[in-house]
Amino acid sequence: MRILGIDPGSETTGWAVLETEGRRHVLVEYGTLKASTRERFSARLLKISNGIEQLITKFHPDVMSIEETFFAVNVKSALKLGQARGVALVAAERAGLEIHEYSARLVKQTVVGYGNAEKHQVQEMVRILLSLPSTPQPHDAADAIAIALCHFHHAGTAQRLLAAEAKINLALAARPNSRRRATK
């Protein structure tokens, strides 16, 4: 499975492409899409959308995982972040990708083991989990890698649960009806 992880931002959007074969994960490439604060906001959104479309065309991911919106103290910042997420979601939907959304807290809990982990802890754990020679920079890209790792972990769990459920349903369907009606 190949996944595109996205850490959306109106100025810097982190991205990462990971590939997995069972329990082994390989970091294909990662980086950021940057937009100048001097540009009109709509032009920045277009840059994000075009950048994600180019990543999808270049890497052919099967899935996109993206960080969910969180409640921010600054409403204006939260709205801008939501719009950046929106263009990323539209780009993935347009490409027909399966989309999964994860909260920042769940990503940190999954990757670091602590939902309130700091940025440098996420970067270091990503380095350790993927056996990288150095911590991925900038933190937006490291966060995108963590979001992709979070999806691998949770998608694998979901697939195992679905497989187990299917196995149980097959066993139940194959079993002869054990209930008998009482006759008087």
Is 7 catalytic? The answer is yes
Residue 140 has which token pair?
């937006």
Would you give the DSSP letter of residue 10? S
Phi, psi of 28 (to 5 degrees): -75, -55
Residues in the chain: 184
Phi, psi of 45 (to 5 degrees): -65, -40
Q: Among the options 68, 98, 118, 140, which is catalytic?
A: 140
Is 101 catalytic? The answer is no
Q: Which residue type does 32 have? A: T
Q: Among the options 7, 68, 98, 165, which is catalytic?
A: 7
Is 93 catalytic? The answer is no
Stated as kind and residue range, the H or E segment containing 17 is strand 12-21
> CA 105, CA 116: separation in Å to the nearest integer?
7
Q: Among the options 21, 29, 67, 101, which is catalytic?
A: 67
Asked if residue 1 lies in contact with residue 19, where contact means CB atoms within 8 angstroms, the answer is yes
- State the catalytic residues: 7, 67, 140
